[in-house]
């Protein structure tokens, strides 16, 4: 059963005066952390066929998007204010082509041994992979759409395991 969260007494990313600050994680113990995020890129039939057949003018869109996602995960602290720089153990970005739906499902999985989680790294990897896919297909389909980027799994640290659909009870 998911553990019930208590409301925070104060914001974690603000000091006593209300100014933005980075959370001090120095007293936390190192543990294995993992996060998985997913997103969808919706394509029209022509763009989907070109992607599936590796016939896009810019080249292998899935290879480019995979590398973009991995690079983004490694640079998350540069993109997201107040995010800790974390040495990552593993980043994987994978794709599933849903031909009937014209969708590319993007999944990023990130692992590290750290004092703080890797959720933002997984989300950033997913977003960057989706953006790179859009860039690769926009010449064929400017109406391509990025949808539903979300965290689906978090493991490690004080919170243990969390999966989407198993949200914690409210206060």
Q: Which of 15, 89, 98, 135 is catalytic?
A: 135
For every residue of the chain, which 3-state class applies, written as one string? Answer: CCCCCCCCCCCCCECCCCCECCCCCCCCCCEEEEEEEEEEEECCHHHHHHHHCCCCCCCCHHHHHHHHHHHHHHCHHHHCCCCCCCCCCEEEEEEEEECCCCEEEEEEEEEEEECCCCHHHHHHHHHHHHHHHHHHHCCCCCCCEEEEEEEEEEECCCCCEEECCCCCCCC
Q: Mark whether 135 is an active-site residue.
A: yes
Catalytically active residues are 135
């Amino acid at each position: 059963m998911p553990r019930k969260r208590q409301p925070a007494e104060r914001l974690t990313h603000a000091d006593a005066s209300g100014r933005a600050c980075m959370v001090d994680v120095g007293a936390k113990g190192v543990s294995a952390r993992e996060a998985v995020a997913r997103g969808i890129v919706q394509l029209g039939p022509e763009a989907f066929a070109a992607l599936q057949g590796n016939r896009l003018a810019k080249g292998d869109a899935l290879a480019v998007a995979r590398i973009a996602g991995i690079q983004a995960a490694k640079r998350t602290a540069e993109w997201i204010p107040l995010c800790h720089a974390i040495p990552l153990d593993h980043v994987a970005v994978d794709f599933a082509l849903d031909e009937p739906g014209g969708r590319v499902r993007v999944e990023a999985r990130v692992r590290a041994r750290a004092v703080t989680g890797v959720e933002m790294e997984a989300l950033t990897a997913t977003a960057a992979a989706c953006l790179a896919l859009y860039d690769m297909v926009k010449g064929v389909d400017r109406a391509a759409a990025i949808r539903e980027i979300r965290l689906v799994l978090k493991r490690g640290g004080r919170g243990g395991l969390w999966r989407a659909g198993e949200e914690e009870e409210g206060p």
